[in-house]
């Protein structure tokens, strides 16, 4: 074909904790996102032990989508959205994670939200776990390191699948499950798995155990979902940032390959239902003892995913340090700046061709349909005298990425379900907790200091993206 199919799912993506607010509405429990403060470029946000009075927690109110969703969906409809990706906040359904019966007020909120989307011909695309673990499971269980949390997640997934089986077809289990490969970051292991390490603990081994438990939880949910409704399309969700070698030196090429393995084995397990040999051999060399039962192995095989959802923001590059063995490379000690690329104010390297590369890489390796469920440009926006936001830099970023996406589909034959740019309406940044790191087509009047009216308005990119959708990607 000469273009994208008529069914191509144009839309946008958000996550419950980054926009809903209403942190105590309708019986909602405390989640990991509710105990995180604000950082800044180059400084990840803080995590407190429970709620500390006097601290500012930006996710508590966020943009109050909880009370504004009808007005917001009307704007998405005006842009012509075919789909809308959001998540179900686990703590609205099971406030501590441990209840035996779900919370009806929470279930009802998502019924109403999905009904509103469907009434506007917008298909909900739903992530089950997007950095929203009940905080109770951190304090009482140690997060996903504890096998009991597998059952608690599967219970939550089953409740959602049964309740929304006639409203939602596209699901994903764990958002960016592979972020924790960067286990030195307190933020990434906390948001993925509810892990809090003590000094002296082996963070890497703890991360692999939690990741394993999540992969089993995901597989069991996929199997259950397919039993509940065979029409469900259930995917994994991988943060994709291709890792390039810094030079043609074979050491750098191999370093890049090893870095890719450590970041993307998660997809191997989701897709193939088994661990790749490079990883189990690595664990043996490191003396890691990961508890994997025979039942886990069977579960992983019986719950492989239907598609690969992934986020794409940037690419990375690595250089082999002759003092550091391949086994001891980490994202911190081997990463270098790519001198061919510009970066955002947060240091994210802008690389549209990397998206085409990623689409081809996934296709070559896994031969599954793909879904770009996040892509976008976080930037400081200025409101002009006339109240408008002239975000041509955002339009440039998205245009170039859509061009490369189309080349991957039209010239390379990649099977792509859709494209949902991140933060289609301004929301709280996951990484820094800032409101002023904006991605939206829709501006929300609120800043890092919790000031603002929450009023919504259209940026220049709003009309641009509306035309992109209307022309099915032809008019960029």
The phi-psi region of residue 7 (left if phi > 0; otherwise alpha if psi is between -120 and 50; otherwise beta) is alpha
358 membership: H or E segment, kind and range: helix 352-366
CB nearer ligand P53, residue 41 or residue 80: 41
- Residues in contact with ligand P53, counted by CB under 6 A, come to a total of 16
Rounded to whole angstroms, the Cα distance separating 324 from 343 reads: 27
CB nearer ligand P53, residue 282 or residue 313: 313
CB nearer ligand P53, residue 189 or residue 269: 189
Min dist. Cβ of residue 186 to ligand P53 (A): 12
CB nearer ligand P53, residue 134 or residue 378: 378
Binding mask 404-423 for ligand P53 (x = CB under 6 A): ------------------x-
Is 176 annotated in the active site? yes
Binding mask 168-207 for ligand P53 (x = CB under 6 A): -------xx--x----------------------------
Is 374 annotated in the active site? yes
Beta strand spans in 163-297 (E): 170-174, 233-240, 243-245
Q: Which of 116, 176, 214, 434 is catalytic?
A: 176
b or e along 374-402 (b: 16 or more beta carbons within 10 Å of the residue's beta carbon)?
Answer: bbbbbbebeeeeeeebebeebbebbbbbb
Q: Does 430 bind ligand P53 (CB under 6 A)?
A: yes
Rounded to whole angstroms, the Cα distance separating 435 from 444 reads: 9
Site stretch for ligand P53 (CB under 6 A), options 220-228, 244-252, 402-410, 426-434: 426-434
Q: Please list every residue from 294 through 323 that binds ligand P53, using CB under 6 A.
A: 311, 313
Q: Which of 123, 132, 214, 374 is catalytic?
A: 374
Of 222, 331, 341, 205, which is closest to residue 273 (Cα–Cα)? 222
What 8-state DSSP symbol labels residue 47? Answer: B
Min dist. Cβ of residue 310 to ligand P53 (A): 10
Rounded to whole angstroms, the Cα distance separating 44 from 17 reads: 17
Min dist. Cβ of residue 314 to ligand P53 (A): 8
Q: Are 320 and 255 in contact (CB under 8 A)?
A: yes
Site stretch for ligand P53 (CB under 6 A), options 32-40, 244-252, 407-415, 428-436: 428-436
Min dist. Cβ of residue 40 to ligand P53 (A): 12
What size, in residues, is the chain? 476
Q: Does 351 bind ligand P53 (CB under 6 A)?
A: no
Instruction: Report the residue from 378, 418, 421, 473 that binds ligand P53 according to the rule CB under 6 A.
Output: 378
Q: Does 437 bind ligand P53 (CB under 6 A)?
A: yes
DSSP-assigned states of every residue in 365-413? HH---EEEEE----B-----TTS----HHHHHHHHHHHHHHHHHHHTT-
Min dist. Cβ of residue 182 to ligand P53 (A): 8
Instruction: Report the residue from 83, 181, 221, 239 that binds ligand P53 according to the rule CB under 6 A.
Output: 239
Q: Does 377 bind ligand P53 (CB under 6 A)?
A: no
Q: Are 446 and 65 in contact (CB under 8 A)?
A: no
Neighbours of 358 (CB within 10 A): 25
Longest dimension (CA), the chain: 65
Count of alpha carbons within 13 Å of 225, Cβ hemisphere only? 32
CB nearer ligand P53, residue 174 or residue 465: 174
Of 48, 47, 29, 164, which is closest to residue 97 (Cα–Cα)? 29
Min dist. Cβ of residue 286 to ligand P53 (A): 25
Q: Does 88 bind ligand P53 (CB under 6 A)?
A: no
Q: Are 210 and 143 in contact (CB under 8 A)?
A: yes
Q: Which residues bind ligand P53 (CB under 6 A)?
A: 15, 18, 175-176, 179, 239, 311, 313, 374, 378, 422, 429-432, 437
Q: Point out the residues that are catalytic.
A: 176, 374
């Amino acid at each position: 074909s000469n273009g994208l199919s008529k069914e191509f799912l144009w839309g946008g993506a958000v996550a419950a904790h980054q926009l809903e607010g209403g942190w105590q509405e309708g019986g909602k429990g405390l989640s990991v996102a509710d105990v995180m403060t604000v950082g800044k470029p180059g400084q990840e946000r803080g995590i407190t032990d429970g709620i500390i009075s006097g601290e500012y927690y930006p996710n508590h109110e966020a943009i109050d989508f909880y009370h504004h969703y009808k007005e917001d969906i009307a704007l998405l409809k005006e842009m012509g959205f075919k789909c809308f990706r959001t998540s179900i906040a686990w703590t609205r359904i099971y406030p501590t994670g441990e209840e035996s019966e779900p919370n009806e007020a929470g279930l009802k909120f998502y019924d109403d939200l999905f009904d509103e989307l469907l009434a506007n011909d917008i298909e909900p695309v739903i992530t089950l776990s997007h950095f929203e673990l009940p905080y109770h499971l951190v304090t009482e269980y140690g997060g996903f390191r504890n096998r009991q949390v597998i059952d608690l997640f599967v219970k939550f997934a089953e409740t959602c699948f049964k309740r929304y089986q006639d409203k939602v077809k596209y699901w994903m289990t764990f958002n960016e499950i592979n972020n924790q490969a960067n286990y030195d970051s307190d933020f990434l292991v906390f948001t993925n798995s509810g892990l809090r390490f003590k000094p002296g603990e082996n963070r890497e081994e703890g991360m692999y155990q939690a990741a394993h438990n999540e992969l089993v939880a995901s597989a069991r949910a996929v199997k259950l979902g397919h039993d509940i409704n065979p029409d469900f399309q259930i995917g994994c969700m991988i943060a994709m940032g291709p890792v390039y070698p810094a030079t043609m030196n074979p050491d750098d090429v191999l370093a890049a390959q090893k870095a890719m393995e450590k970041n993307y084995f998660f997809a191997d397990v989701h897709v193939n239902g088994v661990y790749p040999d490079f990883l189990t051999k690595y664990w043996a060399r490191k003396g890691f003892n990961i508890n994997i039962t025979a039942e886990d192995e069977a579960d992983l095989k019986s719950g492989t995913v239907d598609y690969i959802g992934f986020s794409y923001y940037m690419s990375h590059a690595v250089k082999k340090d002759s003092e550091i063995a391949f086994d001891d490379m980490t994202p911190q000690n081997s990463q270098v700046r790519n001198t061919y690329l510009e970066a955002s104010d947060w240091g994210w390297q802008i690389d549209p061709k990397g998206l085409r590369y990623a689409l081809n890489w996934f296709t070559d390796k896994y031969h599954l349909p793909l879904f770009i469920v996040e892509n976008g440009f976080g930037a400081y926006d200025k409101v002009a005298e006339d109240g408008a936001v002239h975000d041509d830099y955002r339009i440039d970023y998205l245009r170039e990425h859509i061009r490369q996406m189309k080349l991957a589909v039209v010239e390379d034959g990649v099977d792509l379900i859709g494209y949902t740019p991140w933060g289609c309406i301004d929301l709280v940044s996951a990484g820094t907790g800032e409101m002023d790191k904006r991605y939206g087509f829709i501006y929300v009047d609120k800043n890092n200091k919790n000031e603002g009216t929450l009023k919504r308005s259209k940026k220049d990119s709003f009309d641009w993206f509306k035309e992109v959708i209307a022309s099915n990607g032809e008019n960029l």
